[in-house]
């Protein structure tokens, strides 16, 4: 392999700086788009540079492959609905991990074929990339299948799964050591197959509500695999880019797990111990108070302070636009309305913000949990649309409940609570919500879009 010339190394340095600026920019809505653009410029510059210094064969085939990948990626990214964003991110992450594993396998072939004595560290990095890349690939595919509902989103556990998983991990460690001591391509191939198996077994027992955390974790994993491949190929931009993603992804995973009041290991292995978010999932027949759109319209129309708690049900019904119209009308009546966004509302952390932004809700109206929780006490009406678990007081009051310890929105502290629900079926966590039976709660049954439409006309008629 030819040496990387100084000018190319400087391009890589610039690309690495642009990646840092990209992540930095993504921290605030103002600079985020520019940040993302900088990251893209850095990536393109680094990729273009390699064609100018490396003495590559097969250039036409490579360019065609890039064209195919670009078309597929761009079309997928343009066509995806915002509700399907989590599975798309999972898929893009998976293919990145797969690519890293393939690169490491080929590099292992080069190392063993060249007759040189490959360095120990490079072999450690190679084994690492093969295993982690394969895990993130198959893990992401299963994640995609769960979110796309190609398979059940409930935890899948079969007897002996922990044992098979443990054996797989042990075998992977043994073969990794073997790869370092006595590098062979066949061992590398077996190692990648083991990685695929571990990835599947890792994600199968994770329940639907926890899948987002797993996406974030796998994302971090791919980052680290790419970083390791940067060491193998002696390429700084791969090392820095991969490490940035690995570190920030790990940190983000921990932040999200904290927002759900659970540890990462509990999320991954909870189902194996029987302590998962898997609840009964049956509808209750206890009496509740339900009201018509006109009743709710009066509650809302004569309130001073209203907080909306949107959940994934809102997005499923594609009712974001109707909800925004309702909020606009309430705003015109001089009512102070905000949206309270739970960190894990939707199917992915921050997902609800994206869905509401798509409906042109100004992000100033989107309040984070910690900022708005103190305000529920002074709130006249809380309107919960398609959400359930994130306002379930059991998280605070019932030790032993699957969601116990998860920080929730304090909707129960408001004067009045209105739930818009399709049915009495419990939420993702599968447990009953006591707030539904509270005397200050009114339920409006039906499809969210339908109900919001009726509510909107009723408020306009006031």
What are the residue numbers of the active site?
389
Which one of residues 179, 235, 379, 410 is an interface residue with other proteins (CB under 8 A)?
Answer: 235
**Token reading at 388:** 């359930």
Minimum CB separation of residue 434 from other proteins in Å reads 26
Is residue 331 part of the contact set for other proteins (CB under 8 A)?
no
Q: Which long-range contacts (CB under 8 A, 24 or more apart) does 359-365 make?
A: 359/320, 359/321, 359/323, 359/324, 360/324, 361/320, 361/324, 361/327, 363/29, 365/327, 365/337, 365/338, 365/339
Q: Are 326 and 455 in contact (CB under 8 A)?
A: yes
C-alpha distances in angstroms, 187 versus 28, 190, 192, 200, 216?
46, 5, 9, 20, 29
Residue 214 touches other proteins, criterion: CB under 8 A:
no
Tokens standing for 271? 């189902």
Q: How far is the CB of 155 from other proteins (least distance, A)?
A: 22
User: What are the Cα distances from residue 66, in Å, to 47, 59, 69, 301?
Assistant: 11, 10, 5, 56
Q: Is 458 in a helix, a strand, or coil? A: helix
Q: Under the criterion CB under 8 A, does residue 410 sit at the interface with other proteins?
A: no
Position 236 contacts other proteins (CB under 8 A)? yes
Q: Least separation, in Å, of the C-beta of 284 and other proteins?
A: 31
The minimum distance between CB 325 and other proteins, in angstroms, equals 13
Between CA 380 and CA 300 the distance in angstroms is: 8
Neighbours of 84 (CB within 10 A): 15
312 near 422, Cβ under 8 Å? Answer: no
* Comparison of 22 and 431: residue with beta carbon closer to other proteins: 22
The 3-class secondary structure across 382-407, one letter per residue, is: EEEECCCHHHCCHHHHCCCCCCCCCC
User: How many CA atoms are closer than 13 Å to the CA of 105, on its beta-carbon side?
Assistant: 21
If one asks whether residue 251 binds other proteins (CB under 8 A), the answer comes out as yes
Residue list 88-127, contact with other proteins (CB under 8 A): 88-89, 92-93, 95-96, 98-100, 102-103, 105-107, 109-110, 113, 119, 121
> Any contact of residue 87 with other proteins (CB under 8 A)?
no
The answer to the question of residue 78 lying near other proteins (CB under 8 A) is: yes
The window from 46-54, 160-168, 262-270, 317-325 that contacts other proteins (CB under 8 A) reads 46-54
Residue nearer to other proteins on the CB measure, 32 or 200: 32
Cβ nearer to other proteins, comparing 58 with 186: 58
What is the pattern of x (binds other proteins, CB under 8 A) and - over residues 159-198?
Answer: ----------------------------------------
Q: Is 72 in the site for other proteins (CB under 8 A)?
A: yes
CA distances from 149 to 106, 154, 445 (A): 34, 10, 25
- Cα 68 to its chain centre, rounded Å, is 26
With a CB cutoff of 8 Å and minimum separation 6, the contacts of 124 are 176, 180
Helix (H, G, I), strand (E, B) or coil at 307: strand
| Smallest distance, other proteins to C-beta of residue 99, A | 4
- Find the part of the chain contacting other proteins (CB under 8 A) among 237-245, 376-384, 390-398, 422-430: 237-245
State in angstroms the smallest separation of the CB of 462 from other proteins: 23
Alpha carbon distance, N-terminus to C-terminus of the chain? 76
Q: Which of 135, 209, 240, 307 binds other proteins (CB under 8 A)?
A: 240
**Residue 145 within binding range of other proteins, rule CB under 8 A:** no
**Interface map 343-372 toward other proteins (x if CB under 8 A):** x----xxxx-xx--xx-x-xx--x-xx---
Q: How far apart are CA 354 and CA 233, in angstroms?
A: 37
Number of residues interacting with other proteins: please give it, by CB under 8 A.
Answer: 112
81: contact with other proteins by CB under 8 A: no
Binding other proteins (rule: CB under 8 A), the pick from 241, 270, 301, 426 is 241
Site for other proteins in 271-290 (CB under 8 A): none
Is residue 6 part of the contact set for other proteins (CB under 8 A)?
no
């Amino acid at each position: 392999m030819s040496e990387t010339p100084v000018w190319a190394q400087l391009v890589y340095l610039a690309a690495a700086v642009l990646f840092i600026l990209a992540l930095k920019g993504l921290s605030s809505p103002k600079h985020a788009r520019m940040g993302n653009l900088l990251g893209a410029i850095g990536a393109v510059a680094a990729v273009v540079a390699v064609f100018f210094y490396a003495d590559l064969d097969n250039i036409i085939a490579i360019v065609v492959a890039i064209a195919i990948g670009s078309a597929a990626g761009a079309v997928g990214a343009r066509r995806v609905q915002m509700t399907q964003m989590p599975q798309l991110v999972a898929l893009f992450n998976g293919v990145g991990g797969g690519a890293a594993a393939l690169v490491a396998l080929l590099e292992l072939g080069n190392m063993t074929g060249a007759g040189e004595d490959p360095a120990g560290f490079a072999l450690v990095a190679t084994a690492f990339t093969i295993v982690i890349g394969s895990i993130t690939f198959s893990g992401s595919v299963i994640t995609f299948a769960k979110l796309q509902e190609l398979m059940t989103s409930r935890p899948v556990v079969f007897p002996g799964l922990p044992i098979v998983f443990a054996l797989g991990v042990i075998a992977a460690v043994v073969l990794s050591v073997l790869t370092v001591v006595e590098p062979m391509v066949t061992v590398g191939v077996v190692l990648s197959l083991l990685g695929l198996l571990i990835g599947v077994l890792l994600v199968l027992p994770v329940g639907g509500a926890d899948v987002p955390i797993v996406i974030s974790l796998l994302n971090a994993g791919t980052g680290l695999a790419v970083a390791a491949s940067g060491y193998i190929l002696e390429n700084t931009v791969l090392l820095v880019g991969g490490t940035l993603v690995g570190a920030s992804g790990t940190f983000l995973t921990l932040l999200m797990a904290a927002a759900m009041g659970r540890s990462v290991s509990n999320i991954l292995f909870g189902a194996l111990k029987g302590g998962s978010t898997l609840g009964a999932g049956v509808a209750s027949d206890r009496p509740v108070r339900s009201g018509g759109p006109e009743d709710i319209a009066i509650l809302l129309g004569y309130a001073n302070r209203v907080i909306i708690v949107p959940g994934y049900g809102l997005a499923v019904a594609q009712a974001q636009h109707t909800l925004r119209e309702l909020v606009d009308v309430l705003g015109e009546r001089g009512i102070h309305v905000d949206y309270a966004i739970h960190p894990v509302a939707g199917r992915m952390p921050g997902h609800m913000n994206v869905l509401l932004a798509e409906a042109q809700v100004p992000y100033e109206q989107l309040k984070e949990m910690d900022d708005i929780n103190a305000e529920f006490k002074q709130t006249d009406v809380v309107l919960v649309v398609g959400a359930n678990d994130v306002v379930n007081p059991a998280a605070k009051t019932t030790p032993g409940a699957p969601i116990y310890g998860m920080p929730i929105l304090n909707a129960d502290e408001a004067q009045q609570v209105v739930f818009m629900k399709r049915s009495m079926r419990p939420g993702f966590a599968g447990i009953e919500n006591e707030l539904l039976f509270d005397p200050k709660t009114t339920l409006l049954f039906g499809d969210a879009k339908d109900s919001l439409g009726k509510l909107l006309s009723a408020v306009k008629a006031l």
